[in-house]
Chain A
């Protein structure tokens, strides 16, 4: 990446330091954004490799390639890495790159804290991945680490896992404090809250969610640690505790967490759709209120993950209705995107293709979510592949597609070079076909009763599982193509203009491509009315 910014130093500012120390000591939001994005990209391939092992094992029924114990470790770490190591760092990387440029600020409010937030992340994942080489193997209790599976029956490496989760949490919390402080204090004069670009809005709300729930996760793993090592009984039934309490605490964190992984995607997709529709976003205000209501509702729906633990009927009904209520603000957003495209001068560059696929496929994931919200039906769907299909639809063609779309959309701005449009479109169509091939048949085997988290399955699920595995291998290979497209753009791409996209609105497009190492040292003039993005 050092090649990217070379030769674009301002005369009166010092540019980036040379060599490795530039990246170790950097406090520059653009450098840290790149670090986060590359870290996320590397973790995508590590977590993806684990998914490939899972799909290879499930290619045929019977025990094929790995032992059931190792299979469990793969499932657990695939989930943990994709959630905490890919989606979340990628969004933080985008926040670092874009928020200061979109609000006309010179940098993040707390640059040194920003450096620390990033650099403890590789440490956390180093600890997590090191458990594979320890006695007892890596964590094997699923990414939701339900007690007592993760306490009384856990491998000894669970302590390293707890430590890793603490570090990840600290990193997210510091990053969120930074984002909120930046947005609240460093906007260019004239940029009121309701004139902020939607990506900034979505991240402001996401950061509040993170601050509200990451400490609760830290509390949950601390209680696990105390149960395992200090003889307390938070989750030990034998000592008067309750394992179900763990599920309540976990999902009190876990449900807002799944919105943390989708709200920034809403912001990204809004920008891309308005750019390639050449129209301002339809219903800006309602978009903001929709994000805020989704965030608020996320705190009162957590028990829909645990309908089958034995709740009073009033509880089942409350969580069922509150969950269904979320469809309303989400529907507002989907219809706003469609209305933005309606009668727009549409063009279909790669970012737009990924954004449209996001709207369509995320909606499929949302609708299967509504099916799962129906408490009596959930008794059948619970812990089947239908659930796996649901959350992969919202996370892969949802969150991950939005991140890929964002990379295609802003890559020319970040690097100064255009990507290869033909290769980008090839990457899109391969990903689009294979992602559906992978996750759509999971609905069918799930409804037919195939349980999740198992290394073997009954014969009648064999055909669909083979199709799913073929789709998964193709999807995995397609992402290698993505890496190629990004590298090709950086090293051999054509020069990009400052505007890059004809219809792009927002302060970041008023800068050069790539932007100078330090931008908006003096706040921009917003009289032109270009702030609303």
Chain B
């Protein structure tokens, strides 16, 4: 009967292993996205400087979206600009808490087309940072970016979209549980 015990313990281990594999898919997916630019995921601030400036001109479009039910005013100071690859660019976004309650928000970036995402380097940004604003408070946050000269030749325009999420409730529950 020990052969049965052996089978059962092997299969039980396989089950536990596959359960863990399910969770391992989360970091695997993130790495995979970073390599392929799947979903236009971009990384946080990176330091990049290039010497060869001005070979190609790229059109950049900026979009801002409020997630469902997010009442803040959220916009960029321009909707489009033409930039040269390798050149440092500066622009800014305005956040205004239009409600009468203090709120916490977070803007999530996405670049399209997806395969251009890894060539869009932000040297200074508010990505992955939480914004706390008092009622009626407004701030302007700069965004510095540079387009990698290695950007594939078939891409002549990129779009950077930010979606603003209300994370007040999540942060409150997190603090309460701490």
Contacts and interface: CB of A to CB of B under 8 A. Distances in A.
Do chains A and B interact in one complex? yes
Interface of A: 109-110, 173, 176-177, 180-181, 184-185, 211-220, 223, 230-231, 233-234, 236-240, 242, 244-245, 248-249, 252, 309-312, 314-315
B166 A315 contact: no
Given A231-B173, A238-B67, A238-B170, A213 B25 contact: no
Contacts of A212: 14, 18
Interface stretch (B31-39, B56-64, B91-99): B31-39
Nearest to A252: B25
A324 B73 CA distance: 48
B163 A181 contact: no
A220 B26 CA distance: 10
B76 interface: no
B167 A239 contact: yes
A-B pairs with the 10 shortest C-beta distances?
Answer: A219-B22, A238-B165, A215-B19, A215-B18, A216-B22, A181-B7, A177-B11, A231-B174, A238-B167, A185-B3
Given A177-B11, A181-B7, A239-B170, 12 more contacts: A180-B11, A184-B7, A215-B15, A215-B21, A218-B22, A220-B22, A236-B170, A238-B108, A239-B106, A242-B39, A312-B37, A314-B36
Nearest to B105: A238
Contacts of A223: 23, 26
Contacts of B36: 312, 314-315
B32 to A, nearest CB: 9
A211 to B, nearest CB: 5
Contacts of A238: 67, 106, 108, 165-167, 170
A185 B38 CA distance: 46
Contact of B11 (A211, A218, A248, A314): A211
- Which DSSP category, helix, strand, loop or mixed, fits chain B's interface? helix
Contacts, number: 108
B50 interface: no
A211 B15 contact: yes
B8 interface: yes
Contacts of A237: 67, 108, 163, 165
B177 interface: yes
Nearest to A253: B22
Interface in B92-151: 106, 108, 114-115, 128
B4 interface: yes
Contacts of B41: 242
With a 10 A CB-CB cut-off, give which of B18, B33, B38, B108 has the most chain A CB atoms: B18
6 contacts: A177-B7, A211-B14, A212-B14, A216-B22, A231-B177, A242-B41
Contacts of A217: 22
B108 A240 contact: yes
Contacts of A213: 18
Interface string B63-106: 00001000000000000000000000000000000000000001
B161 to A, nearest CB: 12
A214 B19 CA distance: 8
B16 interface: yes
Given A177-B15, A181-B8, A244 B39 contact: yes
A248 B165 contact: no
Given A110-B8, A211-B15, A231-B173, A245 B26 contact: yes
A109 B170 contact: no
Contact of A249 (B22, B165, B177): B22
Contacts of A248: 25, 29
Contacts of B16: 215
Nearest to A249: B25
A234 B26 contact: yes
Contacts of A239: 106, 165, 167, 170
Given A312-B37, A312-B114, A185 B4 contact: yes
Nearest to B25: A249
Contacts of A218: 19, 22
A514 to B, nearest CB: 28
A68 B17 CA distance: 41
Contacts of A234: 26
Contact of B15 (A173, A185, A309, A310): A173
Nearest to A229: B173
